[in-house]
Amino acid sequence: MEHGFSVIMLIFAGMILLMALAIYKGGYDLIARNYATNPRNKKLYAKQFAKLLMLTAAAPLLAGLLGFLSNLLGAIVLIVGMVLCIYFGIRLTHITELLEREDKKDDE
């Protein structure tokens, strides 16, 4: 099992990407209730959530690909990638909140 890390990371990334694509195509109901707020525009919220999942899948995908070269390199990329995913995820969440506020103002 020389490349076990890479195979597991690629499978994990593939599962996250499949879930993200299903949500992106309108599957708001696939978002777990403890993560979902009660947005006014569920379609926009689902698309933003799916983008966040796709961004999250990038770290294990890249780590899995680079893990074929070196397991240490794959682990480093995974850690750095997850930190970047958290940073960009927070930014994307703030963008969604701003869009929700603008949508609410337009309704008033």
Please give the model's pTM, rounded to 2 decimal places: 0.68
pLDDT at residue number 97: 72
Instruction: Give tens-digit pLDDT for 62-72.
Output: 888 887 887 77
22's CB contacts (< 8 A; 6+ apart) are: 30
Instruction: Write down the H helix ranges in the chain.
Output: 4-24, 42-67, 71-107
